[in-house]
Structure 1
Amino acid sequence: MTGPDVLDVARDAMTTLLILIAPILSIGLFIGLTIAFFQAVTQINEMTLTFVPKIIAVFSGLLFMMPMMGRQLGGLMERIADRIIAGG
């Protein structure tokens, strides 16, 4: 494998990583901002109020997005395997 091939695989892996984590991170961000706004309006400073809804939202988002994530990771593995077979 040459240098450009390694960079192509790394770029493909990073792109796949960004595609996988973007929905989950945006769910956490949205829930966090919503709760922070709620806390600012009501002046409730309970620390557990931020963690529990975020954890529930992120886990449900993971369960909902799991098929898409599996397809993306399977596609990445197929592309890497094709490069290994074609190069070897």
Structure 2
Amino acid sequence: MNADWDHDGVRDEVFFVSPPNSYVYRISGSSNGPVRVGNGAAYTMDTYEIRPTGKHRIYAVTAGSTRIYSQLESGGWSAWEKYVP
């Protein structure tokens, strides 16, 4: 999934799921290769958004079709949480 956080038409980060462990990794222009975002919960990436609070959030779907999210906090990406609309 390509994330264009500032909506300038340029991809800022790429998020992907690495089988078979289902870890999510990200790559950005400032990283020296893939950086792990979360534990092995994701089956596929879904979408991304900037919350009204200004925090970056990514969404994924588990193998059981549950939508989950991780949010960029001051200490890094949060643990996966079940998304409840």
TM-score scaled by length of structure 1: 0.20
Larger radius of gyration: 1
Higher share of residues assigned strand: 2
TM-score scaled by length of structure 2: 0.20
Q: Which has the higher contact order (CA 8 A, sep 6+)?
A: 1
Higher share of residues assigned helix: 1
